[in-house]
Amino acid sequence: MELELYQNMLMLIFATTFIMGWVVNKTDFCTMGAVSDWINMDSTARLKSWMLAAVSALFIVTLLSYFDLIDSSLTQSNDTASPPYNTPTFAWPRYVIGGLIFGIGMTIGSGCGNKTLVRIGAGNLKSVIIFIMMAFGAYLMMFTDLMHTFFLQWTSILDLDLTEYDINSQDLGAITAHIIQTDAVNTKLILGFIISVAALLFLFRTNEFRKDKHNILAGLTIGICVAIAWYITSGPMGQELLEEAEMMDETPYAIGAQSLTFVAPSGHFSALVSSEFDSTYITFALIAGLGVLLGSFFYAVLHQSFRIEWFRSISDFINHIVSGLLMGIGGVLAMGCTIGQGVSGVSTLSLGSLIALGSIIFGSALTMKIRYYQLVYEDEANFYTATITSLADLKCVPNKWRYLDRV
Cα pseudo-dihedral 276, 297, 265, 80, rounded to 10: -120
How far apart, in whole angstroms, are the C-alpha atoms of residue 223 and residue 240? 25
pLDDT band at 248 (very low <50, low <70, confident <90, very high): confident
Summarize the confidence of residues 321-330 as an average pLDDT. Answer: 97
Summarize the confidence of residues 197-212 as an average pLDDT. Answer: 96
pLDDT band at 250 (very low <50, low <70, confident <90, very high): confident
Backbone dihedral angles phi then psi of residue 260, each to the nearest 5 degrees: -85, 130
Summarize the confidence of residues 149-169 as an average pLDDT. Answer: 96
Q: Is the peptide bond before 88 cis (omega within 30 degrees of 0)?
A: no
pLDDT at 282: 94
Question: Residue 391: exposed, middle, or buried by beta-carbon count in 10 A (0-12, 13-18, 19+)?
Answer: middle
Given a cut of 80, is residue 9 above it in pLDDT?
A: yes
pLDDT band at 292 (very low <50, low <70, confident <90, very high): very high
Question: Residue 315: exposed, middle, or buried by beta-carbon count in 10 A (0-12, 13-18, 19+)?
Answer: exposed
How far apart, in whole angstroms, are the C-alpha atoms of residue 208 and residue 118? 27
Given a cut of 90, is residue 159 above it in pLDDT?
A: yes
Q: What proportion of the chain, given as a percentage, has pLDDT over 90? A: 90
Please name which of 71, 268, 77 lies closest in space to residue 168, comparing C-alpha atoms: 77
pLDDT at 246: 74
pLDDT at 4: 87
pLDDT band at 233 (very low <50, low <70, confident <90, very high): very high
pLDDT band at 217 (very low <50, low <70, confident <90, very high): very high
- 121-142 pLDDT, tens digit each: 999 999 999 999 999 999 999 9
- E-strand ranges in 147-270 read 160-161
Mean pLDDT score of the chain, rounded to an integer? 95
**b/e map 350-379, b = 16+ CB within 10 Å:** bbbbbbbbbbbbbbbbbbbbbebbbeebee
Summarize the confidence of residues 2-17 as an average pLDDT. Answer: 92
- 73-89 pLDDT, tens digit each: 999 988 888 899 999 99
Residue ranges covered by each domain of the chain: 2-82+90-376
At 88 the three-state DSSP class reads coil
pLDDT at 193: 98
Q: What proportion of the chain, given as a percentage, has pLDDT over 70? A: 99
Summarize the confidence of residues 335-356 as an average pLDDT. Answer: 97
Q: Which pTM value belongs to this model?
A: 0.95
Given a cut of 90, is residue 245 above it in pLDDT?
A: no
pLDDT at 276: 92
Q: Are 288 and 93 in contact (CB under 8 A)?
A: no
Backbone dihedral angles phi then psi of residue 42, each to the nearest 5 degrees: 55, 30
- 370-390 pLDDT, tens digit each: 999 999 998 888 999 999 999
Q: Are 54 and 343 in contact (CB under 8 A)?
A: yes
pLDDT at 2: 58
Summarize the confidence of residues 250-271 as an average pLDDT. Answer: 92
pLDDT at 252: 87
